[in-house]
Each structure stands twice: as C-alpha cells, then as structure tokens.
C-alpha cells in the first residue's frame, strides 16, 4: 500500500489538507476530525484497524488504488486512544480550528481549517479513561552532563502530567537503572545520541523510550526555558540544580510544550531529590521480590496489593511510591511510624477518618484537568467533595496531632485548602451531573437567576412542542405522528409513509411541507414549527451559554487555588496511607520495627505478607521464622547459608526478610513479632530462573549477570538474598561459583546476606568463615512420605528430598524408582569427601592469587640468539640439537 508521503500533488482539497498535516507528524497516528468521527487514512488506517479490531474500509482513489480508511466516534475516542497508547502508538489529535460557516464564506469547496491540537503519548495522559487510577503515570527525562568532578552524571527529571508533581535528581551511570526502575515511568525521554548507550546501561524498561532532539537538552537554553515556563527570572529560584538536573527538567518542559499544543499543563515547581535518599533497588531485584507487580506484570499478588488498604486512588499511588523507594533517613522513617502508631492507638478516629476519606474523590487529577482545560462538570464535583472531606478530616485528626509530627503537617495542609471554593462549588453544582459541559444541566436551580429565566423559556417551549404534536395528530387523525429533532434537520414531523402520502394532498398539503422520505416514513415541517424551533434554539443557547460562563468562572477559581489544592491532595493521600497501614497492622498482626543506623538485622517470628494472605484465604496457617543477620560483637553482617529440601520454603524465607526491610523503611509496620532493622541502603535479590533471549542471554547468563552486579556493588549496609547460585551449569562449575561468591560476600562485601543452596558441601565453609552461619529448613519423614515443616533452624540439611518432590509432582513410578537407585549409587561413591579436604586445604581466594613469576627461559634465549639467514645447513642441525638439550634440562 502506498503511504501518505507518496500522495500526488493533485488530490481533493480535504485530502490535500490531510497529507499536509500528516507529513508534519510522520511518527504519530493522525486522528483527523470529520464531523462526529476521527478518521484515519492510508497506513495509519491499516495499523489502527488491526490494533483496534475495527473495520477497514475505503474512501476515494489514489494512484488508481482505493484509499484505506477507518474511523472512531469522537464521543468514544478515549477508549480507542487507551488501546492505541497501550499498543505503543503515539496519536496526533487533529481538530477543526474554525467554524464551518467561516469556511463557506471563502467558497463552497473551501475546507474547514484543521490543525493538530495535541500529541497523545504514554507519559502525557490526563483523562481518567486513559489512566490507571491507583498508579502514577510518569514522564521521565534523562540527560547527561559533565559533573563538578569532571566525570559524567545523569540528570533525571520526572513529572506526572495527571497531577502536576515534578521532581529532579542526579544518578551515576551505575545507579541509573535502579533510579528508573524505582520511578517505573510510562515514557522516557532520551537524547537521540544516547538512546543505544542508555539501553545497554539500564536494561529493559516498561516505559516507551522517546528520542528527543538536541535542542530540547541544550544546556545554554535550559535555564531560560525552565524559568520561562514558571514565570520566574531565573531557574535559581528552584534551588542549586546541577547542570544535568537543569537539563533534564528543561527537557520535560520542552517536550510538554511540543506535545500539548493547545494548552500548557500546570506543574508544581521542581523538587530536588538528593542522591541516596531512598533505598537503592535494581530492576532485577524489584522483579524478583514482586514489590509493586508480579513477574507476570499484575498488581494482584504483589507486596503492594497485599498491604494496600487505602480507600482513595491518591493514597494507593503514594503507597506504591513509598514501597518503590523506601527511605534511608531514620528520622523520616520514624515520623511515618509515629503516624501509623497514632491511628492504631485510637481505633475510633481511624474508622472515622477512613470513612470520610472513602468519600473523597481524586482531587489531584480532577484539579489538574480543570486547570489544564480538559475537565468537565464531574471534575468540579470531585473537587467539591474532596474539599468537603478535607474540611471534616482536619477536625477529625486534631486529637492525634500531638502524637505524630507528620499528622500535624497533614492537618495544616488540610486547613489551608480553599474551603471558600468548596462552598461555591457546592452552591453552584447540581447533584446529577453530565460528563461533558457542552451537554449543560450541571448548574443547580437557583444558583443563577438569569439562567433560571432562560431555562424557563426553553422548558416551556418543550411543552409547546408536545401540545403542537397533539394538535397535529388530531388535525390529521394520525396518532403515530411525532415531532422529532436531529442535528441536520432540526425539528421535523415524522409519520408512517402511508399517512405521509395523505399529508402531501389537500387539505393538509398547504400546511405540511415535505422535507424527506425515509424507508417506511416521511418527514415534514410547518411554518409554525419553524418559528417555534427558532425560539427554542435561542432559549437553549442562551441557557447553555450562561452555564458555560458559570463553568469558566469556577474553573478560573480552581486554577487560582491550584497550589493549595495540590497540597490538600497530597495531605489526603498521606493521611489515607497512614490510616490504611494502621488498619493492615491491626488486622494482620504487624508490629512497629525499631529502625536505626546500626548494622542490626533481627526479625522474630517473621512472615511473608503475600504468602500469608494467600494461605489465609485457603484456611491454612503460615509458619513464622526468625531471621538473624547480625551479632553485637561483629563489625559486619552475617552470611546465613540456608540448606534444605525443595518445597521446604527457602525462597519464601529469603524473600520475607527482604520485604520486611522494604516495609519498615517505607514507613509501614512489618509482619513479625518483633523487628530491629539497621537501615539498608541497597537491597539485592537473585531469586528464580529466567532467560533473556531477546538480548542473547541464557538462563545461566542472566543469573551470572545479576550475581556479578551484586558482588561488584554491595556494601556493608546492603542486604543481599541469593537463591541457588550456580545451579544452571555443571555441578562442579556451579559449586565452585557458589563457593567463591560466598567467600566474596563474607570477605569483600561484608554485608548482611541470605544464601540458599542445594550444594550441601558449602556448609563446611562455616569452619573457616567466622561470620557464616548455617541454617536448614526442617522436614520429617512419616511412613515413607516427606512432611515439610517450613521451619528454619540452625543446622545443616543432609539431603534435598528432590526425588520425593518429583514423586509428589506425579512423575511415573518407574522413573521415581530408577532415580532412587541412581541416587543410592552416587551417594555410595561418597563424592563429598574431596570437597571436605578442599575446605581444609584450599586457602581463601587461593585461585585468585597470582602465580609466582617464572625465571628466564633458556630455550627462548637460545632462539633469540639465532639468525636463520646466517645459518648453514649444518649449523641449523646443531642449533636444533642444542634446543632439544635445553628443553630436556628444563623438564628435569
């Protein structure tokens, strides 16, 4: 199929306009407004029809071929946009920019002017229909600049266009992937020259990567661009932003200016996020621990899903952000814990607060849409209801404020909200509201006397229409006569065709003027109906104009108090999170962790929150376990080596320790009887098996890449959990890798670590590594069957019970019996004894020590002294004998 770029110069005026606009937006699907439809042509139509599952039709000819065409109704455009964006497409929305009546003045064949008013991309969505209510939708820009010390650093700016939140920070190349994984952006802006480099450095991301031209990241223009957007003299008003941070922030602003052509989204002033303010968690660890989504990409089954009892969408978004970026500041963590504790101690206030919050809509997104010019009457109502809830909540939490500093800040923000705006909205808006302001009917009766008068005229005219219809029905003796209305004909009289033929003849023919013949019906008008339509139209338009004026007045007030509304929305979200975490703590038996700056890590009776929740649904108990990765007399973390059978619960044990650290530092209580956690600055997890065929990596290669990242970067404050390292290769290769990894964790990283393995030979390392502790998952054999107790205790497992697990899985009995026979033979060979000797004989890191330098090689020296061009045949033979003699002497 010929693409639009190949279209000839001589085409219809409408298609000529389409080609011109499409050529200016070649990388986007063009939604071209045609009346009540957005239409797509050429290759755009083919792509959209396949993606949306709609009919591909044709419209006219081009180069002798039919022009492919498909369309979607304007009123359902959001549904189709959501599917196109989810499929990775960008959409340029092209609207009519002049009144069709003005186009007709230029000539009968003149085309109504159209232009792109907005580029819809994954990171610039604001409509509820296009967004997930409980997930932030971040647009991120990454810009590289030279740092103060001379090396390169990366500025990372992120904005949620749906709420206006804006923040900037810096990251080194090594931590850039973790920073992006924490933000989980919908779209990432990357300079064209860095796309390939950053893809290699950061790995796969869920967000769509959008290359941006150099002019958007020009450091010389960044200050002016950012200052111009916020109407300040200089970007220094936002604090001491580095060159990289300034460039990234300016890139976000520039991109929004280019994509939001008809309007500019309001943004909060950029907040600077300091380096190291949050626990660093790389993308692989997030995926392995399933913090905000499962490995399948679902929210259900994740840690966030298990502890999210929030009753507002803003609260859920904030809780997700806190779990994605747990704090490392002890004082800030304790302030969050204080707020949760206050709600636990006063159940009555907690219940009242949660009940009030349940009636608070999404203030942040509603206020943003109104200020952005994309809102409707229901957004105004959401702001009204949220401000009403804020007013009530400020009084509700007053008794708790003395006990929690964070609640004091929340109370102040709630009190500073524009409650006069809330009262005005309540007095103006009706109870039942339309989705679109153009439909009218959203202003309460009595709010505007002029509007009430116009409505009276309009509504009385409708009664006149009903009386007129009854009069015509009586005069013609046609009881099925109806007066109807559409946008093309206006008001008209419709009768069945059999009666319509009568109305064409005297005596009715002089009164009823024929307008249209339909299949089975005929349409007429009268002079009286035409006059009535004019009066109705004027009254209706007057009423709608007055309503729209009220809408604009209220929208201007919302825009004027946008900063206060944002602060109120943030306070409502923080309040919801604190009350929700208190509810979870009470319902699930979570305790307040003691968090400090030590290297302690002790959990008593810890549980896995997700697994426990799943077991509870099935009526089964979860077996808690203690985790100890520190001892008072040691100056570094313990490496706990966990052995035990398959299905015994090793992976659950490892993960629950990591998730308790995440919860504690996010400000939540933890599923345990007691918890003491020294702040974890970096969390690492290498659990499970997965390949990356798209990047040419086998399962084992993925495992080794992730393990390498851990061993190269983990420090004393890190928490590392490793599960079955080395199992993806030959037995002795895997054992050797696991052995060396444990030594490195113990001697070099010196971090708190949990290391699960089936290589039982490694347990003997405890004899030599002073901070290595052995633990095992207990089992019992009963009448030939294995009972998994899911208890972790000090000690060493003597076997893996893999054959018993295979039997449970349903392997054929013949295979199970044969496997057991082979196992008995292998165990009889006592292959472990050489490893036991190696534990005692092989010094730590012996393989890594350089070999002693060799002395002079006499053979090489003799060869250096020979000139082949000067040798005679006899001399060559003598030289060969000398070389052989020297070699024999060396071997001796």
Binding residues: 644-651
CA angle 708, 710, 716 (to 5 degrees): 140
Measure the CA–CA gap between 756 and 625, rounded to whole angstroms: 15
Q: Are 775 and 642 in contact (CB under 8 A)?
A: yes
Nearest 10 degrees: Cα torsion 201, 205, 209, 211: -10
Measure the CA–CA gap between 782 and 698, rounded to whole angstroms: 40
Sorted by sequence, the CB contacts under 8 Å of residue 603 that are 6+ apart come out as: 626, 627, 628, 657, 660, 670, 672, 674, 675, 677
Binding residues for ATP: 644-651
CA angle 351, 321, 237 (to 5 degrees): 110
Query: Of 297, 320, 287, which is closest to residue 135 (Cα–Cα)?
Result: 320
Measure the CA–CA gap between 119 and 248, rounded to whole angstroms: 20
DSSP H or E segment with residue 549? helix 527-560
DSSP string for 55-112 = --EEEEEETTEEEEEEEEEGGGHHHHHHHHHHTT--EEEEEE-S-HHHHHHT-TTPPP
Tokens found for residue 793: 């205790």
Sorted by sequence, the CB contacts under 8 Å of residue 147 that are 6+ apart come out as: 153, 170, 242, 244
Which DSSP letter does residue 794 get?
E
Q: Is 181 helix (H, G, I), strand (E, B) or coil?
A: helix
472 CA to centre of own chain: 62
Beta-strand pair 482-486/490-496: antiparallel
Residue 515: C-alpha distances to residues 309, 417, 570, 660 (Å): 61, 58, 59, 76
Q: Is 162 helix (H, G, I), strand (E, B) or coil?
A: coil
Sorted by sequence, the CB contacts under 8 Å of residue 606 that are 6+ apart come out as: 624, 625, 626, 627, 656, 657, 660, 670, 671, 672, 675
Query: Of 229, 93, 221, 92, which is closest to residue 159 (Cα–Cα)?
Result: 229
Which DSSP letter does residue 270 get?
P
DSSP string for 641-708 = EEE--TTSSHHHHHHHHHHHHHHHHHT--BSSSEEEEEPPSEEEEE-S---BGGGTB-HHHHHHHHHH
């Amino acid at each position: 199929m010929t693409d639009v770029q190949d279209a000839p110069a001589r085409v219809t005026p409408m298609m000529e306009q389409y080609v011109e606009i499409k050529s200016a937006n070649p990388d986007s699907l063009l939604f071209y407004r045609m009346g009540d439809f957005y239409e797509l042509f050429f290759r755009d139509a083919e792509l959209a029809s396949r993606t949306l599952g709609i009919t591909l039709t044709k419209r006219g000819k081009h180069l002798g071929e039919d022009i492919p065409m498909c369309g979607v109704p304007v009123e359902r455009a959001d549904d189709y946009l959501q599917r196109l964006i989810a499929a990775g497409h960008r959409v340029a929305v092209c609207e009519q920019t002049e009144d069709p009546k003005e186009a007709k003045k230029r000539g009968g064949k003149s085309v109504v002017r159209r232009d792109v008013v907005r580029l819809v991309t994954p990171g610039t969505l604001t409509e509820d229909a296009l967004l997930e209510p409980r997930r932030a939708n971040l647009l991120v820009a990454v810009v590289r600049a030279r740092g103060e010390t001379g090396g390169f650093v990366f500025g990372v700016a992120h904005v949620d266009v749906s709420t206006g939140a804006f923040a900037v920070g810096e990251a080194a190349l090594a931590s850039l992937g973790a920073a992006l994984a924490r933000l989980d952006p919908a779209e990432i802006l990357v300079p064209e020259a860095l796309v390939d480099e950053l893809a290699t450095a950061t790995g796969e991301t869920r967000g769509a990567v959008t290359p941006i031209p150099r002019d958007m990241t020009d450091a010389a223009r960044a200050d002016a661009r950012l200052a111009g957007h916020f109407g300040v003299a200089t970007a220094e008003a936002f604090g001491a932003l580095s060159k990289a941070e300034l460039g990234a922030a300016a890139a976000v602003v520039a991109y929004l200016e280019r994509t939001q052509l008809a309007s500019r989204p309001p943004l909060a002033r950029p907040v600077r996020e300091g380096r190291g303010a949050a626990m660093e968690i790389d993308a692989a660890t997030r995926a392995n621990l399933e913090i905000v989504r499962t490995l399948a990409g679902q929210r259900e089954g994740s840690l966030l899903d298990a502890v999210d009892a929030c009753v507002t969408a803003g609260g859920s978004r904030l809780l997700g952000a806190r779990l994605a970026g747990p704090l490392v500041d002890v004082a800030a963590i304790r302030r969050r814990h204080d707020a949760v504790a206050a709600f636990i101690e006063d159940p009555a206030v907690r219940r009242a607060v949660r009940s009030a919050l349940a009636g608070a809509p999404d203030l942040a997104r509603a206020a943003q849409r109104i200020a952005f010019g994309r809102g409707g009457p229901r957004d105004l109502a959401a702001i009204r209801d949220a401000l009403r809830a804020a007013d009530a909540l400020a009084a509700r939490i007053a008794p708790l404020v003395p006990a929690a500093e964070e609640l004091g800040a929340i109370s102040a923000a709630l009190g500073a909200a524009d409650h006069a705006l809330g009262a005005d909205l309540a007095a103006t808006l009706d109870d039942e509201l339309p989705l679109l302001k153009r439909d009218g009917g959203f202003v309460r009766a009595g709010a505007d006397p002029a509007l009430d008068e116009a409505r009276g005229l309009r509504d009385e005219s409708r009664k006149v229409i009903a009386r007129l219809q009854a009069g015509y029905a009586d005069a013609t003796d046609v009881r099925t006569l109806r007066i109807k209305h559409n946008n093309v004909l206006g008001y008209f009289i419709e009768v069945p065709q059999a009666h319509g033929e009568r109305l064409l003849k005297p005596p009715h023919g002089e009164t009823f003027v024929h307008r249209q013949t339909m299949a089975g019906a005929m349409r007429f008008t009268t002079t009286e109906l035409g006059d009535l339509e004019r009066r109705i139209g004027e009254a209706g338009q007057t009423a709608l104009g007055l309503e729209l004026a009220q809408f604009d007045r209220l929208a201007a007030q919302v825009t004027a108090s946008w900063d206060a509304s944002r602060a109120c929305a943030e306070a409502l979200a923080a309040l919801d999170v604190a009350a929700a975490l208190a509810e979870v703590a009470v319902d699930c038996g979570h305790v307040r962790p003691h968090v400090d700056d030590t290297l302690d890590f002790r959990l008593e009776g810890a549980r896995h929150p997700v697994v426990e929740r799943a077991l509870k649904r099935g009526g089964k108990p979860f077996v808690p376990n203690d985790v100890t990765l520190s001892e008072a007399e040691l100056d570094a973390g313990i490496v706990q080596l966990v052995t035990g059978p398959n299905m015994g619960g090793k992976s659950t044990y490892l993960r629950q320790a990591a998730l308790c650290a995440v919860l504690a530092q996010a400000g939540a209580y933890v599923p345990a009887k007691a918890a003491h956690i020294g702040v974890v600055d970096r969390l690492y997890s290498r659990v499970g098996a997965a390949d990356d065929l798209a990047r040419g990596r086998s399962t084992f290669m993925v495992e080794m890449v992730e393990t390498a990242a851990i061993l190269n970067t983990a420090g004393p404050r890190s928490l590392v959990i490793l599960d079955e390292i080395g199992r993806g290769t030959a037995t002795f290769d895997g054992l050797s890798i696991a052995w060396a990894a444990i030594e490195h964790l113990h001697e070099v990283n010196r971090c708190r670590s949990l290391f699960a393995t089936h290589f039982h030979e490694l347990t003997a390392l405890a004899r030599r590594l002073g901070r290595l502790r052995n633990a095992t998952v207990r089992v019992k054999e009963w009448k030939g069957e294995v009972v998994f107790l899911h208890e972790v205790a000090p000690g060493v497992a003597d076997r893996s019970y893999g054959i018993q697990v295979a039997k449970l899985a349903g392997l054929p009995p013949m295979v199970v019996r044969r496997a057991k026979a082979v196992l008995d033979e292998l165990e009889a060979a006592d292959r472990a004894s050489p490893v036991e000797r190696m534990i005692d004989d092989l010094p730590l890191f012996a393989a890594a020590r350089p070999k002693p330098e060799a002395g002079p090689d006499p053979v090489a020296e003799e060869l250096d002294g020979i000139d082949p061009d000067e040798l005679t045949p006899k001399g060559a033979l003598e030289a060969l004998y000398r070389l052989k003699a020297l070699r024999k002497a060396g071997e001796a």
